Structure 1
Amino acid sequence: MNTYSTDSNPTDRSLTLREGLTRYYAANPDFIQNRDMQVGPFHIPWQDLLRHDLMHVVTGYSTDLRAELQLLGFLLTALSWKRPWYYYVQSFGVFLELLWRSLTGRALGNKYVNPLQVCQLYYRGIRQGGTVKKKVDAYINPETLMDTRLDTLRLEYGIDNAERLDNNC
């Protein structure tokens, strides 16, 4: 799995969201783009997948499993509470699935993460999401933000780049 981060180069802070998203997809060519996704019984609209990917870009959380756990926690508390019901299922459900895998000794992706670390990473994201100064609208139209600079978005919402926070576990 790739570990995209917008903070790998200090000049990246001046990228627009569109430019950051282009780099994100270039680093993750296998990610679904421009189409809905079916996960078991759940249908995930493309717009929701795009919003999730945009949050990777804005927060700087990489796409490795540890950072994904943190992003799920972050989204639980940083988004406005008015959101599609399946956002809650995604956050809790994926966390519980990964915790279960860890408790049963199975690797998460290609690496084993112990149950305590799974909980710590998810909780770290929850804590960071609780610090945003402006809640992220779960229904925001991504196109309205595409030409906004990442540093401007981070400042507006009060989002410290997550990558600096995910190295302790």
Structure 2
Amino acid sequence: MLKIFSTVALLLFSFNSFSAPTPAEIFSTLNLRLSYMEDVALYKANNNKAIEDIQREKLVIGKASQSAEKVGLNKQSVVGFFQTQISAAKAIQYRYRADLLSQTETEKPRDLKTVIRPALIKLGKEINAKLAQYLKDGGTFTAQDWAAFETTIDSRYLKDTDKKALFKALTQIRLK
């Protein structure tokens, strides 16, 4: 009995680990990454840091595009996607920070250096890996995916124009 259970579990694990990610999984991972931006904004507000940090953005785009290339994505085709993600992240931070001007935030943000950045790096690599696998398996993002994308990306601080720009950038990503 244990042998049968072990075999079935192994087969299920094998199929799940090699199955192509779905657009919904990719959108959810992207949404999870964006969900950290309110914490980033609160951390920066509490520590008198500017939201925009051009040097940091260049570093993030450089490392993210290298990570993308390692998993088989065209490095140039992902740069626009990363820039658009950063723009969306800044939009969330600016809008949240504007709200902080008229309301008091009692929560302490997660630490930027020890919690948030490592999580963002991990999620960024996960997005790259899922995108690469999805594209390698013949997947493409089409207008039919927009409705799922629009509802999955649920930050209260993103406008439809932000979401549309992010979705458009996502459709531009190609394999090497």
In our comparison, the structure showing a higher alpha carbon Rg is 2
Instruction: Determine if the TM-score, normalized by the shorter chain, exceeds 0.5.
Output: no
* TM-score, structure 2 normalization: 0.30
Question: Highest relative contact order (Cα 8 Å, sep 6+), 1 or 2?
Answer: 2
